[in-house]
Amino acid sequence: MSQLKNDRYLRALQCLPVDYTPVWMMRQAGRYLPEYRQLRAKAGDFMTMCQTPELACEVTLQPLRRFELDAAIIFSDILTIPDAMGLGLYFEAGEGPKFEKTISSLVDIEQLPIPDPEQSLKYVMDAIRLTKQELAGKVPLIGFSGSPWTLATYMIEGGSSKAFTKIKKMLYCEPKALHLLLEKLANSVALYLNAQIDAGAQAIMIFDTWGGVLSHQSYREFSLHYMQLILSQLKRGKKSNNITSYVPVTLFTKGGGLWLDTICKSGSDAIGVDWTVDLNLIAQKGNIAVQGNLDPSILYANEETIESQVESVLTDFGHYNGHIFNLGHGIHQDTPIEHVQYLVKAVHQQSKRFHL
């Protein structure tokens, strides 16, 4: 039997019955919360918060004190692996993540180490162990990583990009080099996520933030293939009456709506979808779990509009098991806090009739 007080999220990930649709939000621990901004000011910078287990634990727990969320996600960053490979991750105000070193050749790729997660990434494992202890079974804890393709985009571009010209140049001109990088990243991510599972993560998410910039054929070859390589190596356990004996995995490709059928056959337990996806059109509902898919900008609207949009998402998914309510991407930093409360309350109240 489950050791969790609230196991709805894990049950939904396995397409098991629940009494209402579980809800959590991408970037639920972050800048829209005043307590987060205060802690970051005290810590000095983002990476200090990530690399100090006590601070990462505190930030993870902050939204749970305000809202009746059905899962916690460890506070970290998708780019911890490239940083541990020696590329020097840093953040510039208003410009997002950047790297001191970038990858531009086969020689660069061959020299990259595969990090030992209990050495160079031990701070993440320590944060998970501490947070799991502090949660005391209140809700499940989610661990995560960026996808190999998404990590590679930052490593080659040196930071965020609009056109992704450097990595696409490597894709078309030096595909063998890019495949070597992606394979090395997939093996690194698998080690990293297995260490998170060992540390206490009860579900895993792989964020393929930039998979949607690829062509149809390239997505399968350079993104999905390497996420499947990770899936084949993960210690997911076995499904049983004890809901916590199995660690479900969600793949989320932002902008991946055209490839849903393919992603559904990837071997993951759940797919994350953004707000461009019509939940009505997902044929595999009830057989694979679906996470999504409210546009985060709806949280600027009034309570009545939020309730109406929640109802619309729930209706589109319908009377199936396996829905995790979430935003289609991360919550905006200027989102009014009370509007998040409206959302969580509306999901819990309105979804009950879909689970009778």
Catalytic positions are 27, 31, 40, 77, 154
What CA–CA distance (Å, rounded) separates 254 from 153? 14
Q: Are 61 and 135 in contact (CB under 8 A)?
A: yes
- 334 carries a ligand binding annotation: no
Cβ atoms within 10 A of the Cβ of 261, count? Answer: 10
Give every strand in the sheet of 323-324, ordered side by side.
Answer: 72-73, 141-146, 203-208, 249-253, 270-272, 289-291, 323-324
What CA–CA distance (Å, rounded) separates 74 from 29? 9
298: which 2 tokens?
């709806």
Collect all residues with Cβ–Cβ distance below 8 Å to 238 and sequence separation of at least 6: 245, 246
Instruction: Indicate the helix (H) or strand (E) that contains 240.
Output: none
Distances (CA, A) of 275 to 226, 260, 265: 25, 13, 21
Residue 145: strand pairing partners: 206
- 217 carries a ligand binding annotation: no
- 31 carries a ligand binding annotation: yes
- 329 carries a ligand binding annotation: yes
Q: Are 190 and 233 in contact (CB under 8 A)?
A: yes
Buried-state track 297-319, b at ≥16 Cβ within 10 A, e below 16: ebbebeeeebbebbeebbebbee
- 211 carries a ligand binding annotation: no
- The rounded Cα 161 to chain-centroid distance in angstroms is 20
Q: Are 182 and 78 in contact (CB under 8 A)?
A: no
What CA–CA distance (Å, rounded) separates 250 from 273? 10
Please name the residue that has the structure tokens 């009746």: 68
Instruction: Indicate the helix (H) or strand (E) that contains 143.
Output: strand 141-146
- 153 carries a ligand binding annotation: no
- 29 carries a ligand binding annotation: yes
Q: Are 73 and 60 in contact (CB under 8 A)?
A: yes
Q: Are 323 and 290 in contact (CB under 8 A)?
A: yes
Known binding residues: 27-31, 77, 154, 209, 329
Known binding residues for substrate: 27-31, 77, 154, 209, 329
